[in-house]
Amino acid sequence: MSRHSTLAAVLRHARDSPGRIAVVAGQEELTYAGLVRQAAGWAAAIRRTAAADDGMARSPEGPVAVLRGRDPGTVAAQLGVWLAGATCLPMDPDTPRGRVEAIVAAAGVSAVVTCPDLAGRVPAGVPVLLEPATGATEAPEMTTDPDAVAYLIFTSGSTGVPKGVMVGHRSLARMLAWHREKYGTGPRDTVSAFAGLGFDSSVKEIWSALYAGARLALPPVDVVRDLDVVRATLARHAVTQSFLTTALAEGLLAEPDAARTLRTLIVAGDQLRRWPPPDFPAAVFNEYGPTEATVVTTATEDLRRQVPTGLPPIGSPVDGVELMLVATDGTVITGEGVEGELWIGGGALALGYLGDPELTAGRFVRRAGSTWYRSGDVCLRRPDGQWQFVGRRGGMVKIRGYRIDPGEIEAALLDCPAVSAAAVVVAHGATGPVLVGFHCGTATETELRVRLADRLPPYMIPTRFQAVERLPLTSHGKIDRAALASRVDWTGGAARTPATATEHAVAARTPATATEHAVAAIWTETLGVAPGPQDDFFRLGGHSLDAAKVIAKVRARLGIPLAADSLYTHRELAAFSDLADHLRRNAGHELEGTP
């Protein structure tokens, strides 16, 4: 076996410790020896599908897809693809038929390893393997080419067509060796595998455990969206090392007792917005890396041992990785605190996009004699030498002319002790785009506004707040911001999270005076929301331009000489109307235009 081969490490563990448990899922267990026996059977079956007219089994020319459930046999099948000398294409069992067909066609697969329940999703004419071959008990003798493609991961393309990222054996083994050294992973560890099988993070979860001789705990369902299942899995299997997507990790950081078995918690997938408490039972590491750079590019040291400054960093380059920060004009940025696009070079790079040389050339570019992957991520160097993730290009939003990073607002919300999770999205109401702060926990809107007022300028404080039981997540485990934006509750005035019955009753009370009726009609016309007497104009979605419109309408229609800043000093409907009444009486004329 080549020294670059992941196979070499797994086969060595099977030889040296055949009875050690390799994979556990529910009630099923598979030892390292059993894992290799099953893999050998799958390898034999795969090679037979590629037999030529002479009947000789051989390695298939195209990738082999593995479309199975979350069980030990699936891990054996993936290993079997490599034993057959083929490229592995892992697929999620919940991948819909149309997407399976698109990926199978784009990849030009030679065969699909699957199970009876999922076989119907495989396009006609593609060989289907349901069982490993019998009689094959030992791994075949073979040499792994370190420059060959180890696995394919299909990610969403901007055109709507999935694109396949090709990662080589050399890059995979480099990453796994680094992981073992970084985290001290070994036979005494139990490593969880929560990610969907079609995502690159599952490659790291599964093979970092088996490369190091650890036990892999594979939950029977994809729990990327379910913190309850994460808690149960950690406890049931006494997991010592776990990778969690950022949204789940932030939830776990708020519940230290649920992590009592953990030695190491690795976080990745999105901007981490919460620092771990110093007494969190596990070391916490934040990682960053795109699929095109073999899962992980940078990593921090234990965040518990760092002084919280701003948002948590993404750390420093891992072994064999080079980073370069490039400005929009193409110049290299060398100073601290300056934002630019992160370019990634060195041994982490994938081999490009399958069947798309044009896209490959556009993203994997040559510069100064080296190949660099243009990540599209905006980063900067911190004064402490670590890298800071700022966001995707275009991740900033503009509200009323202000350029705003929602992540900064989210971090401020998460600093509130009564908030366990938070997300800020832009939603479009009757008055245009506004910031909406979704949060989990027991914090009231008043508490949140007071907290944010101490940290953020007024234009960054969300117009509306909305309490939710949990934040929706995408299939990648990231916060589903589009889903949140579609769930904004525009009814009943301001989104009073969690309001008391008395607050709701007061807000719903019918305006009490003729002036209040008239002003309420103007607010409704301007904001698209029917206000109650205690509703705050700005919490209903109003902004400075809306305020100017209201003042102008009240002056013109009601003949009341309001000052330009009246809505800023009297924000609630009742208070604003009382002011208008007072000014009307002083002016000595009757209100016109009352309903």
Per DSSP, the residues of 241-287 read EEEEEHHHHHHHHT-GGGGTT-SEEEEESS----PPPTT-SSEEEEE
Question: Could you give the angle at which helices 514-527 and 573-587 cross, rounded to 10 degrees?
Answer: 120
Query: What does the radius of gyration of the chain's CA atoms come to, in whole angstroms?
Result: 29
Tokens linked to 128: 């289907």
Closest CA to 432 of 571, 541, 551: 541
List the chain domain ranges.
Answer: 1-169, 397-499, 503-587
Let me know the angle formed at the C-alpha of 514 by 509 and 515, rounded to the nearest 5 degrees. 95
How far apart, in whole angstroms, are the C-alpha atoms of residue 591 and residue 256? Answer: 61
The single-letter DSSP state of residue 461 is S
Backbone angles phi, psi at 471, to 5 degrees: -85, 135
Edge-to-edge order in the sheet of strand 88-91: 128-129, 111-114, 64-67, 88-91, 149-155, 163-168, 352-353
SS3 506: helix
Closest CA to 519 of 582, 440, 468, 428: 582
Residues of the chain with pLDDT under 70: 1-4, 52-58, 136-137, 139-142, 156-161, 222-225, 394-396, 398, 400-403, 430-432, 457, 459, 491-511, 543-545, 588-595
How far apart, in whole angstroms, are the C-alpha atoms of residue 448 and residue 254? Answer: 18
CA distances from 315 to 135, 177, 290, 302 (A): 49, 18, 15, 10
Let me know the angle formed at the C-alpha of 370 by 369 and 371, rounded to the nearest 5 degrees. 140
SS3 571: coil
Exposure b/e, 140-155, CB count within 10 A at least 16 = b: eebebebebbbbbbbb
Tokens linked to 449: 């506004």
SS3 67: strand
pLDDT, residue 533, reads 86
Under CATH, domain 397-499 is a member of which superfamily?
ANL, C-terminal domain (3.30.300.30)
pLDDT, residue 589, reads 58
SS3 292: helix
**Residues ≥6 apart with Cβ < 8 Å to 566:** 551, 576, 579
Q: Which amino acid is at 53?
A: D
H/E segment holding residue 317: strand 316-317
Closest CA to 96 of 70, 118, 63: 118
How far apart, in whole angstroms, are the C-alpha atoms of residue 567 and residue 162? Answer: 51
How far apart, in whole angstroms, are the C-alpha atoms of residue 182 and residue 9? Answer: 17
Would you tell me which CATH number, out of the four given (3.40.50.12780, 3.50.50.60, 3.40.30.160, 3.20.20.120), belongs to the domain 1-169? 3.40.50.12780
pLDDT, residue 137, reads 66
The single-letter DSSP state of residue 16 is H
Q: Spell out the alpha helix ranges (H) of 273-432.
A: 357-363, 406-414
Number of neighbouring beta carbons within 10 Å of residue 16: 11
How far apart, in whole angstroms, are the C-alpha atoms of residue 559 and residue 23? Answer: 78
SS3 197: coil
CB 60 within 8 Å of CB 69: no
Q: Which amino acid is at 229?
A: V
H/E segment holding residue 76: helix 72-83
Does domain 503-587 fall under CATH 3.40.50.150? My reply is no
Tokens linked to 429: 């109401």
